[in-house]
Amino acid sequence: MNLKVRNSIEDLPKIHREWEQFAAGHQLSSKVLNSIHLSLEEIISNIITYGFQDKQEHHVDVHFEIKSNEVEVEIRDDGSPFNPLTSPEPDLSLSLDERPLGGMGIFMVRKMVDEMSYRRVGRNNVLLLKKRREAA
């Protein structure tokens, strides 16, 4: 399933509706549904909030696919180059007051999916998330 949304927080509900329909149609477990749901929320929010240098309308392409025994979600945008895999993990030994802002969302996504890869293709960031499929 392919989905194209604007770089607007207002389009997040559309992504979530489409993901939930896709998950239901493929009888995915609530664990898989929720892991991808939260990952999409974090990644797409970051793209919309930090990914574009201008105030122009851009699009984010999201592709859901079942391959063998896993769910693949590809997220593609034409924002500034950003590889989330190079973001340092937060120091969880520090108290919340001592921790610098940022980094927790990407850290959570890394923990919720089984595999995460990034590549830059032309002017596009391409992030691939994989989660093992579990029956509902």
Instruction: Describe the crossing of helices 104-112 and 30-50 by its angle, rounded to 10 degrees.
Output: 150
Residues pairing with 131 in the sheet: 71
Residue 90 has pLDDT above 90, yes or no: no
Tell me the whole-structure pTM to 2 decimals.
Answer: 0.88
pLDDT at 99 exceeding the cut of 80: no
Domains of the chain, by residue range, sit at 2-132
Question: Is the CATH code 3.30.360.10 the one for domain 2-132?
Answer: no
Q: In terms of DSSP H, where are the helices of 26-117?
A: 30-50, 104-112
Mean pLDDT of 24-47: 95
Would the pLDDT of 121 be above 70? yes
pLDDT in tens, 50-75: 999 898 999 999 999 999 899 999 99
What distance in Å separates the CA atoms of residue 2 and residue 4, rounded to the nearest whole number?
7
The overall average pLDDT reported for the chain is 89
Beta bridge partners of 119: 126
- How far is Cα 87 from Cα 104, in angstroms, rounded to an integer? 10
